[in-house]
Amino acid sequence: MQNEWLYIGLFIVIGVIVPIVPLIASHFLAPHKPNPIKQSTYECGIETVGESWVQFKSQYYIFALVFLVFDVETVFLFPWALAMGNLPLFAVIEGIIFILILLAGLTFTWRKGLLEWA
Amino acid sequence: MTFWNDPINFIAGWLRSVFTDWGLTDGPANVITSLIGIVVMILFAMLIAIALVWVERKVVARFQDRLGPNRIGPFGIFQPFADIVKLIIKEDITPAGADKAVFNMAPVMSLASVILIWAIVPLASKIYGVDINVGVLYLVAVGSFGTLSVIMAGWASNNKYALIGAFRMVATMISYEIPMVVALLIPTIIAGTMSVKGITEAQSNLWFVVLSPLGLLLFMISAIAELGRSPFDLNEAESEIVAGFHIEYTGMKFGLFYAGELLHAFTFGGFMAVLFFGGYGGFFGLEKLSAFTWLSNPFIELVVFLVKALIGYWIIMWVKYSMPRIRIDHMLTFNWKFLTPLAFVLLMVTALFDKILAPTQFYVLGMFFSNISLAWIVIEILRRISKRERIEHERNAEPVIQVAHP
């Protein structure tokens, strides 16, 4: 294949179509007899109280923020790791200093108590 | 080039010549040939998923001292086909309050995110979808589609349990993505390439598990967490939130989630083999001897890859059925206070030793012992901390009053 990304694009198209096929088959073969009780929200047989779209614990948000920092940083680390063979020792140590700064950030959040689930 | 030493290119070349004989130009002929190849590849993946349903049910039965499916066909081997028929003809219930479009999109996306990984899985040296030069990064990128499908399913179900399950699952998946990416960086550093085929070929003489045993451990733990399997399966803790994000899904839509999970586990088993156990090759140079040249036959390599992937899958299953579930705060603490710092320290050690020792003959020994000593230091630190906490706990504990029995 000459163009790898064209192949990936075709793969995405087929990869989305394949899971849809059994759903279509199911649409034609399965019975459809909806009624209000069947369609009610399943919470172990008890009627739902209040809104289903509840507020979530703010701790999830903080973890997501910490994750974002590290996620962006790993994208920077990939080129560094890839070029490792051609880099001088000094550049490798520079990369290590970069990681140390990130770990300092993690220590800061840790000391601040943001990693606690309370 | 014959069918036996290069099957994919042989068939592709034949198909291309057929299409050009029909009067197509090279471009469309190539695209149609690729399309056929992709469909075959995906159908192969789906066949594996169907077989895995049987493997999973049979193995879990053995773990729990049962027989498992044994009615349909020899050893119940046709059970998954009966399951599929049942799932297809089952009524598909959409809850009244659900966000229908998102609700229907989520299972498709969940399975598609796993199928997309199969574009780069190197099944053998000549049997693979495509060998992109950012393969490892593609694995991470496609994996995050799975995260998206989970939050879509949880949100659109209009169910508190589903939403809680989805939040937990997403918190797990994004947290453990960091040690996972670092674990992927280690083979990248050692092999000097991000293409999965390149990483496999770099291990033809020595598996990376020798150079980085801790890296394998990191990858395995974070892969299990990414899969949301036990001990990290509190997203579907059945005693509190019933089934988590897919509680409202019935029939084939549930089947897609299920097939996606099994195939994902198998794929991660395969990537464990590719990144640390030599993938389809890694015979320690044995295939270069004249008596063993048959080892580099694509069909032998395919079997070797599938066996290695199955062993990885089996280990993931083994962990699943022998470990109790852990609490969400413990899980996140384990990741952020232990796994992430360990991962980055390991990355620094690997980079430094790789740079300093690469030209010398102490490379393998140095890498291995740096990993082992790092593991020893970590265990020692943990031991000290737990000892201190235990003493603290004993000091604060209330004295036990003995009550004499009459």
A116, part of any domain: no
**A1 falls in which pLDDT band (50, 70, 90)?**
very low
* Residue B294: per-residue pLDDT: 74
Question: Which range of residues forms the domain containing residue A44?
Answer: 4-111
DSSP label of A49: P
Q: Is the pLDDT of residue B244 over 80?
A: no
Nearby residues of A39 by Cβ (< 8 Å), 6 or more positions away? B93, B94, B95, B96
Flag whether residue A72 sits within 8 Å of chain B, measured between CB atoms. Answer: no
pLDDT range class, residue B377, cuts 50, 70, 90: very high
Q: At A93, which CATH number?
A: 1.20.58.1610
Reported as a single tens digit per residue, the pLDDT across B184-199 is: 888 888 888 888 888 8
Quickly state the pLDDT bin for B320 (edges 50, 70, 90): confident
pLDDT in tens, B150-175: 888 888 888 888 888 888 888 888 88
Q: Which positions ≥6 away from B50 have C-beta within 8 Å?
A: B80, B81, B84, B259
Angle at the Cα of B189 (from B184 to B191), degrees rounded to 5? 95
**In terms of Cα–Cα distance, which of B79, B90, B261, B78 is closest to B169?**
B261
Is there a contact between A10 and B188 if contact means CB atoms under 8 Å apart?
Answer: no
The pLDDT of residue B406: 63
pLDDT digits (tens, 9 = 90+) for B24-74: 777 788 888 888 888 888 898 889 988 888 988 888 888 888 888 888 888
Residue B293 has pLDDT above 80, yes or no: no
What is the per-residue pLDDT across A43-76, written as a single tens digit (0 to 9) for each?
A: 776 777 767 677 777 788 888 888 888 888 888 8
pLDDT above 60 (res B389): yes
| Chain segment A70-94, per-residue pLDDT in tens | 888 888 888 888 888 788 888 888 8
In this complex, is the C-beta atom of A30 within 8 Å of any C-beta atom belonging to chain B? yes
Best residue in B86, B136, B181, B184 for a mutation probing chain A (most A CBs within 10 Å): B181
Q: CA triplet A88, A94, A96: central angle to 5 degrees?
A: 110
Residue B68 near residue B61, CB atoms below 8 Å: yes
Chain A residue numbers with beta carbons less than 8 Å from the beta carbon of B34 are 1, 6-7, 10
Q: Which of A18, A39, A52 sits opposite B93 (nearest CB)?
A: A39
Number of domains in chain A: 1
Kindly state the average pLDDT of the residues A30-34. Answer: 84
B197-226: pLDDT as tens digits: 888 888 888 888 888 889 899 999 998 888
